[in-house]
Amino acid sequence: MNKKSFFQSFTILFALLLLVSCREERAIDRILEEFHNAQSDYVMVAAHRAGHNGYVENSIPAIEHAINIGVDIIELDVKVTTDSVVILNHDRTIDRTTTGTGDPESYSWAELQKFRLKMPDGTVTDLQLATFEEALNRVKGKAMIDIDLKTSNLKPVFDVLQKTGTLNQIIFFDSDFEILKEVQAHFPTANVMPRARSFGMADTALMIFDAPVVHIDDSFYTNELTLLIKGKNARIWINALGDQDRLINAGESDQALANLLDKGANIIQTDEPEKLIPLLEARGRRK
């Protein structure tokens, strides 16, 4: 290859890499713009424990699947090992999800690497528990992450966010307002999502936090609540997990979407993102 051909090939390769990078940046920029616009008709979709249908929950393949199907937010559960490595695991123990047993926060990272992740039916895979840092590096520029804080040891979580430069993509979720206060004390601009279990609790959360989103339950999902939350320019997060996901799977998507959206909720967390996204697109709610 002569110098001219080499230079042309190099220029084309550089341009392609730049294009891919720009696309990824545009993806997160679009998502963040929507996230901070509580009045938007765009309904954001959050994949519960990542896109885990056919994949291991809270695993790197499940995260990559969620990105590939176009979710806006990936929900992940974080814990911290004895040597301060932040890992992904939902349960109090690793019994259900791995070949190991016990509390993952009682292990070092090297000890946890001996275990393998399991599918929901118990099939053992070749995968190890994922680290939060791995997850952040895969998602950076492509989607938001909702961190379900399953640990009180927050410093290692903060350290990884600073190392990866991904704070703007993160939503910190907890029902303990004191934990969220600690988050905002460390990161004043952090996106926190308080969980409310009543109208009064939602009102209190909005007085305490400058929250861009509030997690609600369907038991008090009313027009009055919608006016309260959107009046503070915050989005309304509701779960499809359980009943509404079952309706979607049963072919009763109209009823499920009515239950979820009729009073104005505009972020839906689901175990069925592959099905929910096209349903919302068909109704013009993801333009």
30-76 confidence digits (pLDDT tens): 999 999 999 999 999 999 999 999 999 999 999 999 999 999 999 99
Q: At residue 15, does pLDDT exceed 60?
A: no
**Stronger pLDDT, 26 or 19, i.e. the higher one:** 26
- Per-position DSSP letters for 7-74, written without gaps between them: HHHHHHHHHHHHHHHHHHHHHHHHHHHHHT-TT-SPPEEEETTSS-TTS-TTSHHHHHHHHHHT-SEE
Distance CA 143, CA 212 (A): 16
Q: Once rounded to an integer, what is the mean pLDDT over residues 279-284?
A: 97
Instruction: Give the model's pLDDT for residue 283.
Output: 95
pLDDT per residue over 191-237, tens digit each? Answer: 999 999 999 999 999 999 999 999 999 999 999 999 999 999 999 99
Share of the chain above pLDDT 70, in %: 91
Share of the chain above pLDDT 90, in %: 91
**Stronger pLDDT, 82 or 2, i.e. the higher one:** 82
CB atoms within 10 A of CB 231: 10
Q: At residue 17, does pLDDT exceed 50?
A: no
Instruction: Give the model's pLDDT for residue 286.
Output: 95
Q: What is the pTM of this model?
A: 0.90
Contacts 24+ apart (CB under 8 A), 215-220: 215/173, 216/265, 218/259, 220/196
Average pLDDT over the chain reads 93
Instruction: Give the model's pLDDT for residue 8.
Output: 52
Task: Name residues whose C-beta falls within 8 Å of residue 196's C-beta, 6 or more positions apart in sequence.
Answer: 202, 205, 214, 215, 216, 217, 220
8 Å CB contact between 214 and 204? no
Q: If we measure between CA atoms, which residue out of 184, 177, 127, 173 comes closest to residue 150?
A: 173
Q: At residue 190, does pLDDT exceed 80?
A: yes
Q: At residue 140, does pLDDT exceed 90?
A: yes
pLDDT per residue over 98-108, tens digit each? Answer: 999 999 999 99
Question: How many whole angstroms from its chain centre is CA 175?
Answer: 16
Task: Name residues whose C-beta falls within 8 Å of residue 29's C-beta, 6 or more positions apart in sequence.
Answer: none
Distance CA 104, CA 164 (A): 23
Instruction: Give the model's pLDDT for residue 117.
Output: 98
pLDDT band at 19 (very low <50, low <70, confident <90, very high): very low
Q: If we measure between CA atoms, which residue out of 113, 163, 108, 176 comes closest to residue 136?
A: 163
pLDDT band at 24 (very low <50, low <70, confident <90, very high): very low
Question: What DSSP element (H or E) covers 243?
Answer: helix 243-249
Helix, strand or coil, per DSSP, at residue 146: strand
Instruction: Give the model's pLDDT for residue 287.
Output: 87
Q: Once rounded to an integer, what is the mean pLDDT over residues 112-126?
A: 96
Q: At residue 265, does pLDDT exceed 50?
A: yes
Q: Once rounded to an integer, what is the mean pLDDT over residues 10-15?
A: 48
Contacts 24+ apart (CB under 8 A), 149-153: 149/78, 149/173, 149/174, 149/179, 150/77, 150/78, 150/79, 150/89, 150/90, 151/78, 151/79, 151/80, 151/105, 152/179, 153/80, 153/84, 153/105
Give me the residues paired with residue 174 across strands.
194
Helix, strand or coil, per DSSP, at residue 230: helix
8 Å CB contact between 78 and 88? yes
pLDDT band at 22 (very low <50, low <70, confident <90, very high): very low
